[in-house]
Amino acid sequence: MKEKIVFTIARQYGSGGRTIGEMLSERLGIHYYDKELMKLASEDSGINEALFVNADEKIKSTRLFKIAHSVYHGELIPPESDDFVSTQNLFNYQAKIIKQLAQGESCVIVGRCADFILKDYDNVLSVFIHAPHEYCMEQAAKKHSMSPKELEKFILKTDKHKAEYYKYYTGREWTDARNYDLCLDSSKLGYDRCVEEIISYMNVRFK
């Protein structure tokens, strides 16, 4: 790819968004970033990677997270501050890495509110992968040995956390189609066709 294009992918659990992102990166010969972002943010900030990994769990159990917003504006908290290793600053450093990647290479970035962080970048194509609940249940059942009731609870809890995480850091609704360039139903298209549609959109938009 001559032009640097960044693909951000948000996805419902069980919709196959992560797999579609991996397939897209392989098809285009570009890097795929997911949990590796935490390692890169750790190296950049000097903050232990374990704190990045544990931050999500800490946020999940914090009631404030569910009732308040801390919308990202691009700032970083300096090391001398007591809030240097706060969940907010851990997010800030991941956002910094996401911006650096967008400026330096073509890549696929999954999750982490990347579509919002890069909303002012012209070289970004944002995608939301979704599917009906029944389909997500079927796909999730292939990975988890749970009863249907347990699996349903797990999926609903996971997507609820994603929605709250997104709302907390962006002030926006996670499932609002206006946040994305493309919204694709993986149950109707299949993974291969989703990849094809993303590439087709890329070819039209970026010529």
> Six-digit token pair at 151?
């699996």
Instruction: Return the closest-CA partner of residue 113 out of 153, 60, 67, 74.
Output: 74
> Six-digit token pair at 48?
């232990």
Q: With contact defined as beta carbons under 8 Å apart, do 76 and 92 qualify?
A: yes
* pLDDT, mean of residues 19-30: 97
Q: What digits encode the pLDDT tens for the residues 132-185?
A: 999 999 999 888 888 888 989 999 999 998 998 899 889 999 999 999 999 999
Q: How far apart are CA 157 and CA 164, in angstroms?
A: 10
Mean pLDDT of the chain: 89
Q: How far apart are CA 202 and CA 179, in angstroms?
A: 17
Per-residue burial over 151-171, b = 16 or more CB atoms within 10 Å of its CB, e = otherwise? beebbeeebebbebbbbbbbe
Residues 6+ apart with CB under 8 A from 69: 167, 168, 169, 171
pLDDT value at 50 more than 90: no
pLDDT of residue 90: 87
- Dihedral (CA of 50, 59, 152, 192) sign: negative
pLDDT of residue 114: 96
pLDDT value at 49 more than 90: no
pLDDT value at 61 more than 60: no
Residues 6+ apart with CB under 8 A from 122: none
